[in-house]
Amino acid sequence: VSARSGKKAGHIHPLILAGGSGTRFWPLSRRARPKQFLALGGPRPLIVDTAQRLRGLTTARAISIACGRAHAPQIRQLFPDLAPDRLLVEPVARNTAPAIGWAALRVLARDPNGVLVVLPSDHHVRNPSRFRALLARAVRLCADGTLYTLGIPPTGPETGYGYLKLGAKLSGGAREVRAFVEKPSAAKAARYVASGDYLWNSGIFVFRADAVLAEIRRSLPELARILARIAPAVGTSREARAVERFFPQAPNVSIDYGIMEKAARVATLPADIGWTDLGSFAALAELKRVGRGGNVTQGSCVTIDSRGCLAISHDRPLVLLGVDDLVVVDTGDVVLVVPKSRAQDVRLAVAELEKRKLDKLL
Amino acid sequence: VSARSGKKAGHIHPLILAGGSGTRFWPLSRRARPKQFLALGGPRPLIVDTAQRLRGLTTARAISIACGRAHAPQIRQLFPDLAPDRLLVEPVARNTAPAIGWAALRVLARDPNGVLVVLPSDHHVRNPSRFRALLARAVRLCADGTLYTLGIPPTGPETGYGYLKLGAKLSGGAREVRAFVEKPSAAKAARYVASGDYLWNSGIFVFRADAVLAEIRRSLPELARILARIAPAVGTSREARAVERFFPQAPNVSIDYGIMEKAARVATLPADIGWTDLGSFAALAELKRVGRGGNVTQGSCVTIDSRGCLAISHDRPLVLLGVDDLVVVDTGDVVLVVPKSRAQDVRLAVAELEKRKLDKLL
């Protein structure tokens, strides 16, 4: 397909991004235990599911995880077999581009043809085998230097996701990405979905390490300079100190807007894999098995004349009487009550508690 | 005013009825601790407020309290100075008429002209001095044998109260009661209130002991027969055994419908005393000082974009985000969430927990 397509396909180097610290699942999630450490989709923490989902595509030993310093101990506990050189502890949070750049340096030092598979740590995928097949295909296709992203066929006019505007058809079922579109208005989202020309941006990326580093040099020269200071230390005993010193100087920028949307060759594989980023309690409720009266409950909950609620109890029963579409979450140290329609505003509660100096609840 | 009006005014013998076991304040109220034992209106249990409210009208020693066996220990604890012969422990619940009949026997044995002032134990009165003045007036007026009730000028078309249909004007500002009307439909309640011819039935009664016993003989002969078996033992060491034996055979009937509505001479004093029977969480919320955003909170509660809520926390903060007119009550062993508009249906939750054999929560 391209001049570079003759390159040898490299090994797969998954990178799980666990630096997130969102508040949309407060009070289940806390500063000390962000969403990726919660067992929201099933019995295991989302980050463990993320790693397990790759079984068959790659070995557990090949997986790297990037996270903030505060969460490294939890990562080590959840992944006791994780080799020290597979853990990327970011000294400060600088969004996704710097962490991916650092990871690319590491891959390149080991494997000149190495392919990075970048995975958010807090998503849910209903169909993991199709997911793996698509990743394997993207790994093959990206040998030509194209940056790949999985694109999710929209199931509705979501305003919480970024969208990919599709271009020309490529081989292997891929599509050129013409533009990355930020979270749209409801009207725009409806038009996007109706047009059939848009996919959701999953934030799951597949690219050669050398290709993404080349794009960083092109689009984020500031980050490229920082990486150039770290590169000589990678794989040596000086790496941690170099990262400690230079990483904080990196620009705070995401891979999506810092690199992907400016890159020359970006493609997507439409991925009908039952994906959700579990963006709020409302999204969680949709994922769970719905019980009596359309309510989703966990723990001891009694729902009477109530519909469409999500109730999570702790050490005492929750009794919901005559309420609709309400989220009630008891975590043992705080109880949150919020309508599903306001679930994305949970950050307001976090901000209010911060203002009141109730830090132990954050 | 009447043939009997020459009779000497008797002493006041207050009788506080504490046999109630309602569920409308569940989970605050429980089988073991019904509403009258809760500090809903202020810092003290409602039953203590009820007794204190009589200060100046009568001595504490004159007050009798009727209650079920399960609650006698709590009564003794709240009223350490209560003489044994002022506590009427009902072996079984038989509604209000039998307890009042028994109390009337006791009063009559001590004081042939004695006047019973019958008070529910779980109401709230904002203006106690006006309340006492009206009771004192009713005590004087009832010397002629008329049965008196305090009638509350309606502040709205309440469907949760019984109504008194007013008749002729009597001396002392009293009005004849033409009929007792059971809890009306909303349409009827609106008509009653608009007409000006109706008052709410407060359930607060004033009558001579001999007069109420005469009415029992006339309207409830079955109860009269039971009381006749108990009467010879009253004031003797045999009283408890007689009550134990005969009281359970008494009909289960209220004073309102068993006696008052059939009595020949019933009058009411309009009593603008800021009365409420605190019939539900919604009524409680109206009573309490309203805080930020029209919410009433107790304990550690955080309300954000929320209006008209009642939140009662226990050992953990309640955070309400974007909800209106909601009642949230945490009692430490259960959390209830119910809209204010459904507050009167809390019994449905109690029934459901009963069905699920969650008896420790009842």
What's the confidence (pLDDT) of residue B213?
98
Cβ distance of B321 and A333 shorter than 8 Å: no
What's the confidence (pLDDT) of residue A4?
47
pLDDT at A289 exceeding the cut of 80: no
pLDDT at A168 exceeding the cut of 60: yes
Task: Work out the pLDDT band at A139, boundaries 50, 70, 90.
Answer: very high
- The CA–CA distances, whole Å, from B12 to B4, B47, B67, B208 equal 18, 19, 20, 9
Beta strand pairing status for A147-152 and A115-120?
unpaired
pLDDT at A293 exceeding the cut of 90: no
Q: Which of B305, B339, B352 sits opposite A304 (nearest CB)?
A: B352
pLDDT over 70 percentage in chain A? 98
| Cβ(B121)–Cβ(B48) below 8 Å | no
Cβ distance of B345 and A338 shorter than 8 Å: no
Residues 183-222 of chain A with CB under 8 A from chain B are none
Task: Work out the pLDDT band at A288, boundaries 50, 70, 90.
Answer: confident
Instruction: Provide the 10 A C-beta neighbour count for residue B254.
Output: 17
CA end-to-end span of chain B: 51
What is the distance between the alpha carbons of residues A339 and B10, in angstroms, rounded to a whole number?
A: 60
CA end-to-end span of chain A: 51
In chain B, what residues touch A345 (CB-CB under 8 Å)?
305, 321-322
Residues 6+ apart with CB under 8 A from A291: A297, A303
Rounded to a whole number of angstroms, the distance from the CA of A191 to the nearest CA of chain B is 29
What is the distance between the alpha carbons of residues A176 and B34, in angstroms, rounded to a whole number?
A: 70
Residues 6+ apart with CB under 8 A from A260: A147, A149, A177, A180, A205, A266
- In eight-state DSSP terms, residue A251 is -
According to DSSP, the residues that pair with A259 across neighbouring strands are: none
Beta strand pairing status for B326-330 and B335-339?
antiparallel
A226-254 mean pLDDT:
97
Global pTM reads 0.89
Q: Does A63 touch chain B (CB under 8 A)?
A: no
pLDDT at A2 exceeding the cut of 60: no
In chain B, what residues touch A304 (CB-CB under 8 Å)?
348-349, 352
What is the distance between the alpha carbons of residues B35 and B24, in angstroms, rounded to a whole number?
A: 8
Lowest mean pLDDT among A4-8, A29-33, B79-83, B290-294: A4-8
In chain B, what residues touch A330 (CB-CB under 8 Å)?
316, 335
In chain A, what residues touch B361 (CB-CB under 8 Å)?
317
Cβ distance of B330 and A334 shorter than 8 Å: no
Instruction: Provide the 10 A C-beta neighbour count for residue A250.
Output: 24
Q: Which of A27, A328, A348 sits opposite B304 (nearest CB)?
A: A348
Q: Does A328 touch chain B (CB under 8 A)?
A: yes
Q: Does A358 touch chain B (CB under 8 A)?
A: yes
Q: Does B356 touch chain A (CB under 8 A)?
A: yes
What is the distance between the alpha carbons of residues B279 and B297, in angstroms, rounded to a whole number?
A: 18
A171-190 mean pLDDT:
95
pLDDT at A8 exceeding the cut of 70: no
Between A and B, how many residue pairs show a Cβ–Cβ distance under 8 A? 113
- The structure tokens listed for A304 are 């009477």
Tell me the residue ranges of DSSP E strands in chain A: 12-18, 64-68, 87-90, 115-120, 124-125, 147-152, 163-169, 175-181, 198-208, 266-270, 275-276, 296-298, 301-304, 310-312, 318-321, 326-330, 335-339
Residues 19-48 of chain A with CB under 8 A from chain B are 27
What's the confidence (pLDDT) of residue B9?
64
A28-42 mean pLDDT:
93
Q: Print pLDDT tens along chain B (362 aa).
A: 343 445 566 799 999 999 988 899 999 999 999 999 999 988 999 999 999 999 999 999 999 999 999 999 999 999 999 999 999 999 999 999 999 999 999 999 999 999 999 999 999 999 999 999 999 999 999 999 999 999 999 999 999 899 999 999 999 999 999 999 999 999 999 999 999 999 999 999 999 999 999 999 999 999 999 999 999 999 999 999 999 999 999 999 999 989 998 998 999 999 999 999 999 999 999 888 777 788 999 999 999 999 999 999 999 999 999 999 999 999 999 999 999 999 989 999 999 999 999 999 99
Q: Does A353 touch chain B (CB under 8 A)?
A: yes
Give residue-wise pLDDT tens across range A56-74.
999 999 999 999 999 999 9
What is the distance between the alpha carbons of residues A7 and A265, in angstroms, rounded to a whole number?
A: 16
Cβ distance of B318 and A335 shorter than 8 Å: yes
What is the distance between the alpha carbons of residues A282 and B144, in angstroms, rounded to a whole number?
A: 68
Residue B156 has φ and ψ, to the nearest 5°, of 180, 170
pLDDT at A195 exceeding the cut of 90: yes
In chain B, what residues touch A332 (CB-CB under 8 Å)?
316
| Cβ(B181)–Cβ(B165) below 8 Å | yes
